[in-house]
Structure 1
Amino acid sequence: MKSKSSSQKMSFIPRSILRTIGKFQQTLDPNAETKVIEEFRASRLQTISCVRFLLILIVVPLLISQLSRNFVITPLVERFWNSQESNIFLNASQEEKALAELKRFEQRVYFEARISKILTLSDEIVQKELKKKAIALVEENKVESINAVTNVLTDILTAITLIVLILTGKQQLCLLRSFAGDITYSLSDSAKAFLIILSTDIFVGFHSPYGWEIIIEGTLNHYGLPENKSLASLFIATVPVVMNTVFKYWIFRYLNRSSPSAVVTYHNMNE
Structure 2
Amino acid sequence: MKYWNLKKIHQSPVDKVGIIPRSISKLFDKFKKELDPNAEVEALEDFKVARYQTLTSVKYVIFLLIMPILINQISKSLLFGPCINYLWNRNQQSIFLNHSQEERAFAELQRFEEKLHFEILIGKVDNASQKTINHKMTDKALELAQEYANESSCAVKNILADLLSCTVFVSILITNKRQFSILKSFINELIYGLSDTAKAFLIILFTDMFVGFHSPHGWEVIIEVILRHFGLPESRDFIFLFISTFPVILDTIFKYWIFRYLNKISPSAVATYHNMNE
Mark yes or no: TM-score above 0.5: yes
Aligned partner of residue 23 in structure 1, secondary structure = helix
**Do the aligned residues in 2 keep the contact of 1:50 with 1:176 (CA within 8 Å)?**
yes
How far residue 121 of structure 1 moved from its aligned partner, in angstroms, is 4.3
Of 232, 242, 249, 1:242 maps to 249
2:104 maps to 1:105: no
Task: Report the more deviating stretch, 67-76 or 44-53.
Answer: 67-76
Match of 2:8 in 1: none
Relative to structure 1, the CA distance from residue 185 to residue 105 in structure 2 (aligned partners, 3 Å threshold; closer, same or farther) is: closer
Of 63, 77, 91, 2:98 maps to 91
Equivalent residues, number: 265
Match of 2:209 in 1: 202
Match of 2:224 in 1: 217
How far residue 41 of structure 1 moved from its aligned partner, in angstroms, is 1.2
Match of 1:142 in 2: 149
- What runs of 5+ residues in structure 2 fail to find an aligned partner? 1-13
Match of 1:10 in 2: 17
Task: Report the more deviating stretch, 9-18 or 229-238.
Answer: 9-18
Of 204, 229, 237, 2:236 maps to 229
Task: Report the more deviating stretch, 143-152 or 199-208.
Answer: 143-152
Distance, in Å, in 1 between the alignment partners of 2:88 and 2:209 is 40
Match of 1:42 in 2: 49
Percent identity, aligned pairs only, is 49
Relative to structure 1, the CA distance from residue 131 to residue 8 in structure 2 (aligned partners, 3 Å threshold; closer, same or farther) is: closer
How far residue 43 of structure 1 moved from its aligned partner, in angstroms, is 1.8
Task: Report the more deviating stretch, 101-110 or 148-157.
Answer: 101-110
1:204-244, CA deviations, whole angstroms, 9 ceiling, x for partnerless residues?
11211111111112112222222211111111111111111
**RMSD between aligned residues:** 2.0
Distance, in Å, in 2 between the alignment partners of 1:8 and 1:217 is 40
How far residue 128 of structure 1 moved from its aligned partner, in angstroms, is 2.5
Of 138, 153, 173, 1:166 maps to 173
Distance, in Å, in 2 between the alignment partners of 1:9 and 1:89 is 56
Matching residue's letter, 2:226: T
Match of 2:11 in 1: none
1:80-131, CA deviations, whole angstroms, 9 ceiling, x for partnerless residues?
1111122111112212322333334344444444444445444433332222
Matching residue's letter, 2:163: I
Matching residue's letter, 1:40: F
**Do the aligned residues in 2 keep the contact of 1:13 with 1:258 (CA within 8 Å)?**
no
Task: Report the more deviating stretch, 106-115 or 76-85.
Answer: 106-115
1:169-210, CA deviations, whole angstroms, 9 ceiling, x for partnerless residues?
111111111111011111111111111111111111121111
Aligned partner of residue 232 in structure 2, secondary structure = coil
Relative to structure 1, the CA distance from residue 122 to residue 157 in structure 2 (aligned partners, 3 Å threshold; closer, same or farther) is: same
Matching residue's letter, 2:174: L
Matching residue's letter, 1:21: F
Relative to structure 1, the CA distance from residue 243 to residue 8 in structure 2 (aligned partners, 3 Å threshold; closer, same or farther) is: closer
